Structure 1
Amino acid sequence: MHQYHNIQLFKADFFKALAHPLRIRILEVLSEGDKNVNELQSILGSEGSAVSQQLSVLRNKNVVYGLKEGTTVVYSLRDPLIKDLLAVAKQIFDNHLVDAISLLEGMRKEQ
């Protein structure tokens, strides 16, 4: 029972780490390859402080890690499976979208 509880806590904590639009975007960008803060900033069109703040959350939750290369820190996904998780989340979203569209079309036909 205890082991099961630990896994639930890990999952809850992990999803909390993902629960922010900018953090999701950072992970999507890192899914394509490692980036430093400046690269992330320019891709995301977001302020450095905002990007750094969210990277810090992702680092503390062990979702990403940073390696120092000279004066810059290059960020990577801690686990490549995060890329798959994001893809599945997108599929779920797409399925909901398809359901919503067909529901609307059905309602339109009834009118």
Structure 2
Amino acid sequence: MSVPLYEAKAELFRLLGHPVRIRVLELLQDGPMPVRELLAAIEVEPTGLSQHLAVLRRSGMVTAHREGSTVFYALAGGDVADLLKAARKLLTQKLTGQNELLSELLGTETRVR
């Protein structure tokens, strides 16, 4: 039995619902990184990072390859980077609207005094 599209989308967003996973994806936008560099850039225990990387790998968001004893992770494709850019754009629009409202409120407060 197949899952309805809306449920599959909800599962995708649940997968992305952890700050460590988002940070890993952001870092990997610049290209493949070894686990040690990801650990240095993200304040998380090695076991925690390993678990998040496993979730991202199982979901197909990232790929992993080994060079000697070093494991490198990379984004699985450009669509992941596009999703992160879309999220940034949505947040920018939201915050711009909040700043406009704040300016309006501050302007009103100044006139009331």
Give the TM-score range, shorter chain.
0.7 to 0.9
The answer to whether residue 15 in structure 2 is matched with residue 17 in structure 1 is: yes
The one-letter code sitting in structure 1 at the alignment partner of 2:33 is K
The one-letter code sitting in structure 1 at the alignment partner of 2:46 is G
How many residue pairs get matched?
A: 109
Structure 2: distance between partners of 1:77 and 1:54: 14
Q: Give the drift of 1:4.
A: 8.4
Give me the TM-score of the superposition, normalised by structure 2: 0.85
Give % identity. Answer: 34
Deviates more, 1:61-70 or 1:17-26: 61-70
Cross-structure match for 1:91:
89
Give me the TM-score of the superposition, normalised by structure 1: 0.87
Cross-structure match for 1:70:
68
Cross-structure match for 1:82:
80
User: What are structure 2's unaligned runs of at least 5 residues?
Assistant: none
Q: Give the drift of 1:108.
A: 1.2
Cross-structure match for 1:60:
58
Q: Give the drift of 1:58.
A: 0.7
Structure 2: distance between partners of 1:78 and 1:11: 18
The one-letter code sitting in structure 2 at the alignment partner of 1:72 is T
RMSD: 1.8
User: What are structure 1's unaligned runs of at least 5 residues?
Assistant: none
